[in-house]
């Protein structure tokens, strides 16, 4: 097939980005927004030798798994990829994505995976789950300020203040800000020229507390007539923190380096389980609180702590998993590369009265090997119980690129009975599990958790144990 050809295609598979895959006379087409089971009319946009990318022109006969998307912008918007697929099918797709990677990249057998894979943990209500959103501001052709979401792979703003994945309160906040901007002629920032003022608005809601934070990211130090805006926002039930973060750099990075409080306090409070967290505009915090609690509870279940264990939580962020586990462990050490996150982790330990957690700033692949080397010398001959170089449980929760080999090597040397791997990328997960399994560990349990319904992302929690334990 060649560019601009059209054909009827039966969709028989799902690609890693949620796109439909079908064949026409042996030629494979990848078709965004086509659902497995559909027959669609597709137009080839880009043709390679053995495969091509086509655009969905018309659904000729819909799949039983095709549903009407809740959001009218679902196809254009870069936020969701699979809103037109039934939620049950989305979950099956994600579970299969994890399984497929473990088979292909990890080299694990079907029989083993049948035994160790537990059913994917989905949501009862897979919409309105996000506690955080960052809305870009721009200007429409008539010169009015607009806000919404970027269209897929672009910086074109689709005006929409009512995202189906976000908190309902976002809409009122954004409309209030847009109304204020019109009234006082405050311009949106323009990426192309570097002019204008309002760049982004960050909104966060504490799902357990109802507290709301609004942070205005501006190309400057202040907003003219800010009091008029603050008065309106502050009236909203739950409003707790209104801040301004100056960002005058010409960059894609959303937030500035600092923020100042315009009204209320500089943070909101939320709970995951019974642990309390203070969240500032610059802190990392999981965006789906309902699923985060399930994720951490699963990590806790896999760690199966009895009370006296030494636990390492690598890539600990603001110490969320560390503090969760500290409730049942003897001692928890957390390691994280971002110093401000460690400041938050220490503060969160303090406000929860947790005294058995200690945090280190640095790269996990440097901090852990160094700790091992330094303690190894001091303890030659003192292996086993009571040794500081041993760990009972090691938890890792790395970014998409997975763990460094140097880190995996040290984990193996520290001989933890259990390794709990929390992963946001099944491919690097499979690669790392293969390394650990080559060095004395075996796969015990694998469970996918759907942290991001309507998107192709999937989180996985894995339990590995030492073979000779």
Which of 65, 270, 336, 459 lies at the binding interface for ligand SAH (CB under 6 A)? 336
The reply on whether position 321 binds ligand SAH by CB under 6 A is yes
Q: 424, 427, 417, 415: which is closest to 463 by C-alpha?
A: 417
The residue (of 85 and 316) whose beta carbon lies closer to ligand SAH is 316
Instruction: Write down the least CB distance from residue 422 to ligand SAH, Å.
Output: 7
User: Binding of ligand SAH at residue 452 (CB under 6 A)?
Assistant: no
User: How distant is the alpha carbon of residue 214 from its chain centre?
Assistant: 20
Q: Is 93 in the site for ligand SAH (CB under 6 A)?
A: no
Q: Which residues pair with 121 in a beta bridge?
A: 449
What is the spatial distance between Cα 318 and Cα 349, in angstroms, rounded to a whole number? 10
Nearer to ligand SAH, 164 or 395 (CB): 395
Say whether residue 19 binds ligand SAH (CB under 6 A): no
Longest dimension (CA), the chain: 77
CB-based contacts of 13, cutoff 8 Å, min separation 6:
20, 21, 22, 36
Distance CA(319)–CA(285), nearest Å, equals: 10
Q: How far is the CB of 266 from ligand SAH (least distance, A)?
A: 20
52 close to 30: Cβ distance less than 8 angstroms = yes
* Single residue of 43, 171, 276, 363 touching ligand SAH by CB under 6 A: 363
65, 309, 397, 459: residue in contact with ligand SAH (rule CB under 6 A) = 397
Q: Does 123 bind ligand SAH (CB under 6 A)?
A: no
Binding to ligand SAH by CB under 6 A, coded x per residue (else -) over 54-73, reads --------------------
Kindly determine how many residues on this chain lie close enough to bind ligand SAH according to the rule CB under 6 A.
17
d(CA 414, CA 436): 12
How far from the centroid of its chain's Cα atoms is residue 332's Cα? 24
336 is in an annotated binding site: yes
Q: Nearest-CA neighbor of 370 among 413, 339, 326, 341?
A: 413
Distance CA 131, CA 193 (A): 32
* Cα distance between residue 395 and residue 372, in whole Å: 16
Q: Is 114 annotated as a binding residue?
A: no
Structural contact between residues 449 and 294, judged by C-beta atoms closer than 8 angstroms: yes
- Compare residues 197 and 275 and give the one whose CB is closer to ligand SAH: 275
CA–centroid distance for 205 within its chain: 16
Q: In what order do the strands lie in the sheet with 212-218?
A: 157-159, 145-150, 132-139, 198-205, 212-218, 239-246, 260-264
> Residue 315, annotated ligand binder?
yes
Stretch that binds ligand SAH, among 105-113, 164-172, 358-366, 430-438 (CB under 6 A): 358-366
List Cα–Cα distances, 312 to 95, 182, 225, 249, 304, in angstroms: 28, 52, 49, 37, 14
Contact 430, 455 (CB under 8 A): no
Cα–Cα distance measured from residue 349 to residue 357, given in angstroms and rounded to the nearest whole number: 7
Q: Which one, 335 or 420, has the nearer CB to ligand SAH? A: 335
* Among residues 337, 354, 382, 435, the one that binds ligand SAH under rule CB under 6 A: 337
Query: Which of the ranges 61-69, 157-165, 334-342, 428-436 carries the binding residues for ligand SAH, by CB under 6 A?
Result: 334-342
Q: How far is the CB of 337 from ligand SAH (least distance, A)?
A: 4
Of residues 210, 155, 161, the one with CA closest to residue 181: 161
Select the residue interacting with ligand SAH from 304, 399, 400, 405 (CB under 6 A): 399
Closest distance of CB 321 from ligand SAH, Å: 5
Which residues are known catalytic residues?
A: 424
For residues 146 and 279, which CB has a smaller minimum distance to ligand SAH in the complex? 279
Of 64-72, 332-340, 385-393, 440-448, the segment contacting ligand SAH by CB under 6 A is 332-340
Judged by beta carbon, residue 320 or residue 410, the one nearer ligand SAH is: 320
CA atoms of 134 and 130, how far apart (whole Å): 11
From the CB of 186, what's the least distance to ligand SAH, in Å?
A: 34
Would you say 286 is a known binding-site residue?
A: yes
Question: What's the min distance (Å) between Cβ of 282 and ligand SAH?
Answer: 12
35, 67 Cβ separation under 8 angstroms: no
> Is the Cβ of residue 70 or residue 363 nearer to ligand SAH in the bound state?
363
Least separation in angstroms between residue 187's CB and ligand SAH is 34
Min CB(268)–ligand SAH separation in Å: 16
> Quick check: 320 binds ligand SAH (CB under 6 A)?
yes
Cβ-count burial of 328 within 10 angstroms (0-12 exposed, 13-18 middle, 19+ buried)? middle
Q: Which of residues 259-318 bind ligand SAH (CB under 6 A)?
A: 284, 286, 315-317
Which parts are annotated binding residues? 286, 315, 336, 397
Which parts are annotated binding residues for S-adenosyl-L-methionine? 286, 315, 336, 397
What does the binding site for ligand SAH look like in residue numbers (CB under 6 A)?
Answer: 284, 286, 315-317, 320-321, 335-338, 341, 363-365, 397, 399
């Amino acid at each position: 097939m060649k560019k601009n050809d059209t054909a009827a295609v039966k969709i028989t598979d799902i690609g890693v980005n949620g796109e439909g895959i079908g064949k026409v006379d042996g030629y494979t087409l990848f078709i965004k927004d086509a659902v497995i089971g559909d027959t669609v009319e597709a137009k080839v946009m880009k043709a390679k030798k053995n495969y091509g990318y086509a655009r969905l022109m018309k659904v000729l006969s819909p799949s039983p798994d095709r549903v009407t998307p809740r959001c009218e912008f679902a196809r254009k918007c870069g936020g969701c990829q699979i809103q037109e697929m039934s939620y049950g099918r989305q979950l099956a797709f994600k579970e299969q994505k994890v399984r497929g990677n473990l088979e292909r990249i990890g080299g694990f057998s079907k029989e083993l995976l049948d035994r160790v894979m537990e059913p994917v943990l989905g949501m009862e209500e897979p919409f309105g789950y996000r506690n955080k959103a960052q809305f870009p501001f721009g200007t429409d052709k008539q010169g009015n300020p607009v806000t919404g979401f970027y269209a897929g792979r672009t910086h074109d703003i689709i005006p929409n203040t009512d995202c189906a994945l976000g908190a309902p309160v976002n809409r009122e906040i954004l409309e209030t800000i847009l109304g204020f901007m019109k009234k006082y002629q405050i311009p949106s920032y323009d990426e192309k020229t570097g002019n204008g003022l309002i760049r982004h608005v960050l909104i966060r809601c504490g799902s357990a507390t109802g507290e709301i934070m609004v942070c205005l990211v501006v190309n400057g130090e202040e907003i003219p007539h800010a009091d008029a805006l603050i008065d309106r926002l502050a009236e909203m039930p739950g409003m707790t923190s209104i801040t301004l973060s100056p960002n005058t750099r010409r960059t894609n990075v959303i937030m500035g380096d600092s923020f100042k409080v315009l009204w209320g306090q500089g943070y909101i409070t939320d709970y995951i389980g019974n642990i309390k967290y203070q969240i500032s505009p610059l802190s990392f915090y999981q965006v789906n609180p309902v699923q985060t609690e399930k994720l951490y509870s699963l990590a806790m279940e896999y760690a199966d702590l009895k009370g006296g264990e030494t636990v390492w939580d690598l890539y600990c962020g603001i110490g969320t998993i560390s503090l969760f586990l500290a409730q049942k462990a003897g001692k928890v050490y957390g390691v994280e590369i971002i110093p401000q996150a460690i400041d938050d982790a220490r503060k969160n330990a303090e406000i929860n009265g947790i005294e058995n957690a200690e945090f280190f700033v640095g790269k996990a692949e440097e901090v852990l090997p160094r700790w091992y080397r330094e303690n190894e010398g001091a303890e030659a001959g003192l292996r086993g119980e009571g040794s500081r170089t041993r760990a009972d449980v090691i938890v890792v929760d790395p970014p998409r690129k997975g763990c460094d080999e140097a880190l995996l090597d040290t984990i193996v040397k520290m001989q933890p009975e259990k390794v709990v791997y929390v992963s946001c990328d099944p491919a690097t997960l499979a690669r790392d599990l293969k390394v650990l399994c080559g060095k004395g560990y075996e796969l015990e349990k694998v469970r996918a958790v759907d942290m991001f319904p309507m998107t192709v992302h999937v989180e996985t929690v894995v339990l590995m144990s030492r073979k000779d334990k």
